[in-house]
A and B are shown apart, each in its own frame.
Chain A
Amino acid sequence: GESVGLHLPTLSVQEGDNSIINCAYSNSASDYFIWYKQESGKGPQFIIDIRSNMDKRQGQRVTVLLNKTVKHLSLQIAATQPGDSAVYFCAESRTYKYIFGTGTRLKVLA
């Protein structure tokens, strides 16, 4: 069946360091991938997306890498700030349905 999973449930990083959040997916037919950030008490907020015809996409302070060979997705956050503290979800899609992973909690240490 389909599944999207995350390697680490919690990631702690020092403020100013780079963060890397990883995600594995199992459906090789998925062709669209998204990272969402969820702060406490709020709905998921879009960060960045990537389509399967790409292997890297950059945004403002964020980069998503896609490795289709091993079905792996990662989110890199440069110069992590306290405001980056949240739960991060990856999601995969091949239709209108987005399948979310279980989430990684990012804690930024001062």
Chain B
Amino acid sequence: EPEVTQTPSHQVTQMGQEVILRCVPISNHLYFYWYRQILGQKVEFLVSFYNNEISEKSEIFDDQFSVERPDGSNFTLKIRSTKLEDSAMYFCASSEAGRGELFFGSGTQLSVL
């Protein structure tokens, strides 16, 4: 069964450092997303991406965040200068259509020290 894959599964970084979280969405999907989940809290929307541009973003997704689809298979989330409060599980998701079932990856646990 096709799945969304994310790497790395765990990322530890120092405050102020840049991190790139990587995702490989399901191959025939056209819509891509990043969500995050702080431990024990709800899943929060960050950004949606379609046709090589951001279609929607939340207030969390400020200038420190960026997304990119550098080739036909990868989808990345970059945090330029990490803060302690960026520590969370980051989930990538993809969907075939804009409104419908989102398929989530297993997440990258980001720890900012």
Interface residues of A (CB under 8 A from B): 32, 34, 36, 41-46, 49, 89, 91, 93, 95-103
Can you list, as one digit per residue, whether each of B26-65 has a CB less than 8 Å from chain A (1) or not (0)? Answer: 0000010101000001111100101000011010000000
Which listed segment binds A: B11-19, B71-79, B80-88, B103-111?
B103-111
Report yes or no: A46 in contact with B102, Cβ–Cβ below 8 A: yes
Question: Interface size bucket, B side?
Answer: 20 to 34
Report yes or no: B102 in contact with A98, Cβ–Cβ below 8 A: yes
Within 8 Å CB of B44, what residues of A? 100
Report yes or no: A97 in contact with B58, Cβ–Cβ below 8 A: yes
Within 8 Å CB of A93, what residues of B? 99
Report yes or no: A97 in contact with B42, Cβ–Cβ below 8 A: no
Report yes or no: A96 in contact with B48, Cβ–Cβ below 8 A: yes
Within 8 Å CB of A96, what residues of B? 31, 33, 48, 50, 55-56, 98-99
Within 8 Å CB of A44, what residues of B? 43, 91, 102, 104
Report yes or no: A45 in contact with B104, Cβ–Cβ below 8 A: yes
Shortest B69–chain A CB gap in Å is 16
Partner of B43, one of A41, A49, A100: A100
Interface residues of B (CB under 8 A from A): 4, 31, 33, 35, 41-45, 48, 50, 55-56, 58, 91, 93, 98-107
A44-B43, A46-B101, A89-B43 as given contacts; A97 in contact with B106, CB under 8 Å: no
Report yes or no: A95 in contact with B104, Cβ–Cβ below 8 A: no
Within 8 Å CB of B106, what residues of A? 41-43
| Distance A96 CA – B102 CA, assembled complex (angstroms) | 10
Within 8 Å CB of A46, what residues of B? 101-103
| Distance A2 CA – B9 CA, assembled complex (angstroms) | 31
Q: Which residue of A lies closest to B33 (CB)?
A: A96
Partner of B48, one of A36, A97, A101: A97
| Distance A34 CA – B104 CA, assembled complex (angstroms) | 14
Q: Which residue of B lies closest to A94 (CB)?
A: B99
Shortest A74–chain B CB gap in Å is 18
Shortest A24–chain B CB gap in Å is 14
